[in-house]
Chain A
Amino acid sequence: MNWLIAILQATLFVVLAPLLAGWLKWCKCRLQNRKAPSLLQPYRDLIKLTNKQPVVSKQASWLFVTAPYIIFSATVLAASVVPLIAVDLPTSATADVIVMVGFFAFARFFQALAGLDTGTAFGGMGSSREMTISSLAEPAMLMAIFTLTMTASTTNLSGVIIYLLDHGLVLRPSFGFAVFALILVAVAETGRVPVDNPATHLELTMIHEAMILEYSGRYLAMIEWASQLKLMIYGVLIANIFLPRGIAESFTAKALGYGLLAIMVKLALLAVLLAIAETLFAKMRLFRVQEYLGFAYLLGVLGMLSHIILEASR
């Protein structure tokens, strides 16, 4: 029964991810006074890409063809670790949050290799930029996560959420810092506006798009889906850890349905905030990204410090 719900939850993750991307795009379009595409447009895009014949360069090795599957499955595995509608599931008991970061690093490694594989200038440039940014983003993310795990004294995400639910509403200064650090890292890692622009293929600025420029057809669909999934994972992480109300603690149909409703509302609100932020801010120069991520790291460190200084029990 538990495994069934775990599989159901991972499936929900995969199925709902394009919807979140569509909703985000819709909000952004409305904010910029444009006519918005339908919420189901990402699904249509994915179906269209899947039906198209993929074109693979003659120079490409086997890695280029297998990388999309590896990236997609690693991201799905990472998604299965994160509690979406219910806590205390077997999948989240087997792996903790550091494993989730590891899955992301694994997927990113193969994505960078695939970018380099065909030997185009853009692919190499995109891979190099992606690795630079992620090497700065990962310490900041881990700092933010360590702040949470020190509070709950477990690295298991379900454990953290259960701990927070048990203690009710407590104002923790360290969480304020950690959530900001995590939001900054999430924006950088999912390639959203101040760091990277997902909607453009301008050669000077693209990071994620440069890496996957050579992909087409179902391979592109896989990678697009994986990046939508990644956005959703970060969203769920932020929503469920810092606002855990509503998540199902028992496996009854009512609690699960309520949990699903709660997370959808939370994600929709979070997407609106992200769309507003993307509309307000312009993309940064690439060389300013390290300042931005340095700030995220500083917030993580401050979160840790304020946990030790202000909240530690003695």
Chain B
Amino acid sequence: MSIEQTDFYTQAILSMAALIGLTSFLMLGQGRLLRLIFVFALQGFLLTLTTALAAYILKNPHLYISAVLTLMLKVIFIPWMLKREVIQTNMHRDIEALHNKTMVMLSGACLMVFSYYVLHPIVHTTAPVMLNALAVSLSVVLLGMLLMISHRQAIAHVVGFMSIENGLFFAAIIATKGMPMVVELGIAFDVLVAAVLFGIFFLHIRSSIDSLDVDLLNKLNEVDK
């Protein structure tokens, strides 16, 4: 079944999947923290749009609540919190030097191919094109992990973690056509709690090594070298 024969909803979801994949790539190559946070908010916004679209097409009103929660948490609250953190620690003028950026980007592209390869058996046996978007959401998860590995700032790690969550949430929406309300509320509050915990984590890490660069954690040795 090619894309011309699908309905508008599927096409829109596939476009959204592609855009969310793109934002993951943008985050991967971003050296400036404020811009990283902005792209993260953009990804959250795309997720909100997807949820609202699914709610509208599937006539599933409780998905609107989920969309509003996503908007409040991932587009407004968490980016705002991270941004405040960056400005307080005066890191918004630094450009984080990424080690071999090209390698990271290329391995990101490889991860996308890999996730498609992994999901190919599932996608192949089930007819709907919609499942193709699963490959993208898996690659968003993997790209979030790659982001955590390749960046050194703790804030970038948090953004990577949250984008992993975004990937899972996207997969849940498109695969299940709306989870039960309890699950969605649970996820939303988990994210909220994670955000608060990360705030405390930042505080501690900063008071112990006076920076948010996690590479400096290696210096915390018992014995002097």
Which of A172, A173, A305, A314 contacts B124, CB < 8 Å? A314
| Number of B interface residues in the complex (CB < 8 A) | 29
Q: CA–CA, A294 to B29, complex, Å?
A: 11
Q: CA–CA, A306 to B11, complex, Å?
A: 12
Q: CA–CA, A246 to B22, complex, Å?
A: 31
Q: Judge whether B4 is part of the interface by a CB distance below 8 angstroms.
A: yes
Q: Indicate with 1 or 0, residue by residue over B100-129, a CB within 8 angstroms of chain A CB atoms.
A: 011001000100110010000000100001
Asked if A176 and B14 make an inter-chain contact with CB atoms under 8 angstroms apart, the answer reads no
Q: Judge whether B15 is part of the interface by a CB distance below 8 angstroms.
A: yes
Q: Judge whether B200 is part of the interface by a CB distance below 8 angstroms.
A: no
Asked if A171 and B2 make an inter-chain contact with CB atoms under 8 angstroms apart, the answer reads no
Q: Indicate with 1 or 0, residue by residue over A147-174, a CB within 8 angstroms of chain B CB atoms.
A: 0000000000000000000010011111
Which of A167, A173, A313 contacts B19, CB < 8 Å? A173
Q: Judge whether B135 is part of the interface by a CB distance below 8 angstroms.
A: yes
Which of A170, A174, A294, A314 contacts B18, CB < 8 Å? A174
Asked if B25 and A302 make an inter-chain contact with CB atoms under 8 angstroms apart, the answer reads yes
Q: Indicate with 1 or 0, residue by residue over B1-24, a CB within 8 angstroms of chain A CB atoms.
A: 111100010011011011101100
Query: For A174, what are the chain B residues with a Cβ–Cβ distance below 8 Å?
Result: 18
Query: For A167, what are the chain B residues with a Cβ–Cβ distance below 8 Å?
Result: 4
Determine how close the nearest CB of chain B comes to the CB of A149; give it in whole angstroms.
16
Determine how close the nearest CB of chain B comes to the CB of A294; give it in whole angstroms.
7
CB-nearest residue of chain A to B3: A311
Q: Indicate with 1 or 0, residue by residue over B23-35, a CB within 8 angstroms of chain A CB atoms.
A: 0010001000000
Q: Judge whether A301 is part of the interface by a CB distance below 8 angstroms.
A: yes
| Number of A interface residues in the complex (CB < 8 A) | 24
Q: Judge whether A253 is part of the interface by a CB distance below 8 angstroms.
A: no
Asked if B3 and A310 make an inter-chain contact with CB atoms under 8 angstroms apart, the answer reads yes
CB-nearest residue of chain B to A290: B102
Q: Indicate with 1 or 0, residue by residue over A164-202, a CB within 8 angstroms of chain B CB atoms.
A: 000100111110110000000000000000000000000
Q: CA–CA, A309 to B112, complex, Å?
A: 9
Q: Judge whether B46 is part of the interface by a CB distance below 8 angstroms.
A: no
Q: Judge whether A298 is part of the interface by a CB distance below 8 angstroms.
A: yes
Main secondary structure, interface of A, reads helix
Asked if A172 and B3 make an inter-chain contact with CB atoms under 8 angstroms apart, the answer reads yes
Q: Indicate with 1 or 0, residue by residue over A286-314, a CB within 8 angstroms of chain B CB atoms.
A: 00000100110011011001101111111
**A177 with B4: in contact, given A171-B11, A298-B105, A305-B109 (CB under 8 Å)?**
no
Asked if A295 and B2 make an inter-chain contact with CB atoms under 8 angstroms apart, the answer reads no
Determine how close the nearest CB of chain A comes to the CB of B186; give it in whole angstroms.
30
Q: CA–CA, A306 to B132, complex, Å?
A: 10
Asked if A301 and B3 make an inter-chain contact with CB atoms under 8 angstroms apart, the answer reads no
Asked if B135 and A312 make an inter-chain contact with CB atoms under 8 angstroms apart, the answer reads no
Which of B8, B22, B29 contacts A177, CB < 8 Å? B22
Q: Judge whether B136 is part of the interface by a CB distance below 8 angstroms.
A: yes
Query: For B129, what are the chain A residues with a Cβ–Cβ distance below 8 Å?
Result: 310
Q: Indicate with 1 or 0, residue by residue over B151-174, a CB within 8 angstroms of chain A CB atoms.
A: 000000000000000000000000
Asked if A306 and B18 make an inter-chain contact with CB atoms under 8 angstroms apart, the answer reads yes
Q: CA–CA, A77 to B169, complex, Å?
A: 51
**A309 with B135: in contact, given A176-B15, A176-B19, A298-B25 (CB under 8 Å)?**
yes
Which are the 3 A-B pairs with shortest beta-carbon distances?
A173-B18, A313-B2, A171-B11
**Besides the known contacts A171-B8, A174-B18, A314-B124, 15 further A-B residue pairs in the complex with CB atoms under 8 A apart:** A167-B4, A170-B11, A171-B12, A171-B14, A172-B15, A298-B25, A298-B109, A302-B22, A302-B25, A305-B109, A305-B113, A305-B116, A310-B17, A310-B18, A311-B3
Q: List 10 A-B contacts (CB under 8 A).
A: A171-B8, A173-B18, A174-B18, A177-B18, A302-B25, A305-B112, A310-B133, A311-B14, A313-B1, A313-B3
